[in-house]
Amino acid sequence: MATPNYSYEKRQRELAKKRKKEEKLKRKSTGSGAGEGGEPEAGEAADDTPPADGTPPAGGSSAG
C-alpha cells in the first residue's frame, strides 16, 4: 500500500487558502458586496436599512 504524501496535501491546502484569499481581496477591491447569487453574503448586509414591511429592525430598542 502506498504511503500518503503529506507534503503534497499540505501544499494543496495552502494553495486553496491562497486562492480563496485572493478572490476575497479581488471582490473587495471591485466594490461589490454581493456574492455569486446577487444577494449579500452573511455579515455584509446593511444593518441600517429598515425592512420593507415597515417593522423596526431587530436588536434596536425604541423605548428608552
CA distance 25 to 23: 5
CA distance 34 to 32: 5
Q: Is 11 exposed, middle or buried, given 0-12, 13-18 or 19+ CB atoms closer than 10 A?
A: exposed
pTM score, whole prediction: 0.43
Summarize pLDDT for 9-63 with one digit per residue, the tens. Answer: 999 999 999 999 999 999 999 876 555 555 555 555 555 665 667 666 666 655 5
Q: Which three cell numbers stand for residue 53?
A: 414591511
Q: Within 13 Å of residue 3, how many CA atoms lie on the same side as its CB?
A: 3
